[in-house]
Amino acid sequence: MNATKQAQTPQPRPLPPAPSNMNEAWTTVVRRGGRKAQASLDPRLVPAAAAPQAMGRTVAGTKKKGRKPRKPRAPRSAAVVLELLPAAKEKGLTYGEVMAQARCSVDIDAIGVEGGIRVRHTANGARLLECPGADSGVAADKLATRLREILPDSQVVRIERPVRMAEIKVTGLDECATKVEVAAAIASQGNCALAQVKVGELRSCYSGTFTVWARCPVQAAILLATPPQGRPADSPGKLRVGWVIAHVQLQEARPWRCLRCFGTGHGLARCPSSVDRSGLCFRCGQPGHKAASCTAAAPHCVLCDAVKRRALF
């Protein structure tokens, strides 16, 4: 009886024999001697030490082709938005007049805008003043400040300096790290204003460390997520928080989401949907609370639900 029981207990499967081609590669390379360069082109002939790295590279390459990651890129220009508010209409003020006033009062060359400004119209008719160049942020800041000085008060003309944001994941934080501390570290080491940094809730991981997601200007995110010199391109960047050196990874750009219908590709102001879901929780689809305070055990997608219902009836 004992013997049968023993026979029934599953035995660990014997490991397959170690691949022999690695050794073969070595011997082949050695045997061929002078033709090393040609031999290394054959994947079977790559020396054992180099093989895993080479394989990793090919895997990463094919992955990229299948589903291209939408990593945020640094903006090639910086913009200032000039918008006439309803009070301007009451006063009979037009964009033409305001733009003319701006042009004769602000010397853009003195501010440091090189190559002129491109003026475009936004969806709601406001003017988008684009300063070309990846490092034109400072000039755009100055332009916004000057426009606020010379144009009528903020109840009539709104001057905004929109900054493109990106999301980063900070891992490896210790238990004494706080949101405030992480935000301060991102601002000082990412070279951006503290007001532009938003840090989420810290979450504990299996390893006992903490992880947090944060939003900051794209340039800061790219700077922080850049691996230290000499490290592979896919390794994380570093962020010093307190005593700890945490890791920073740039997150994929998320699709533009409508706050009214939860659909993608358009904003609240131009929502074409007949359904208003703005009162529902984005995570579980129930009314009465928001996603940040959602206690539902599992997320529930209302968009998929609507598609299913349409298919049934």
Question: Contact positions toward Zn ion, by CB under 5 A?
Answer: 258, 260-261, 263, 271, 273, 281, 283-284, 294, 296, 301, 303-304
Q: Considering beta carbons, is residue 27 or 295 the nearer one to Zn ion?
A: 295
Shortest CB 256 distance to Zn ion, Å: 10
DSSP 8-state assignment for residue 71: -
Q: CA of 97: how far to CAs of 84, 87, 103, 240, 308, in Å?
A: 11, 15, 10, 50, 53
Q: Considering beta carbons, is residue 51 or 301 the nearer one to Zn ion?
A: 301
Shortest CB 123 distance to Zn ion, Å: 14
Q: Going by C-beta distance under 8 Å and a sequence separation of 6 or more, which residues neighbour residue 188?
A: none
Q: Is 117 exposed, middle or buried (0-12, 13-18, 19+ CB in 10 A)?
A: buried
Shortest CB 269 distance to Zn ion, Å: 10
Which tokens in the block code for residue 241?
Answer: 């928080």
Q: Considering beta carbons, is residue 78 or 281 the nearer one to Zn ion?
A: 281
Q: Going by C-beta distance under 8 Å and a sequence separation of 6 or more, which residues neighbour residue 146?
A: 105, 106, 111
Shortest CB 32 distance to Zn ion, Å: 56
Shortest CB 31 distance to Zn ion, Å: 58
- Residue 143: CB atoms within 10 A of its CB come to 26
| Strands across the sheet containing 127-132 | 118-121, 127-132, 77-84, 157-160
Residue length of the chain: 313
Torsion, CA 26, CA 32, CA 38, CA 44, rounded to 10: -30
Shortest CB 313 distance to Zn ion, Å: 19
Q: Is 250 exposed, middle or buried (0-12, 13-18, 19+ CB in 10 A)?
A: buried
Q: Considering beta carbons, is residue 138 or 307 the nearer one to Zn ion?
A: 307
Q: Considering beta carbons, is residue 156 or 306 the nearer one to Zn ion?
A: 306
Q: Considering beta carbons, is residue 232 or 255 the nearer one to Zn ion?
A: 255
Shortest CB 287 distance to Zn ion, Å: 9
Q: Considering beta carbons, is residue 74 or 306 the nearer one to Zn ion?
A: 306
Which tokens in the block code for residue 126?
Answer: 């406001």
Judge whether 240 and 174 are in contact, CB under 8 Å: no
Q: Going by C-beta distance under 8 Å and a sequence separation of 6 or more, which residues neighbour residue 132?
A: 76, 77, 114, 115, 116, 118
Shortest CB 170 distance to Zn ion, Å: 26
Q: Considering beta carbons, is residue 53 or 286 the nearer one to Zn ion?
A: 286
Closest CA to 219 of 201, 242, 244, 192: 192
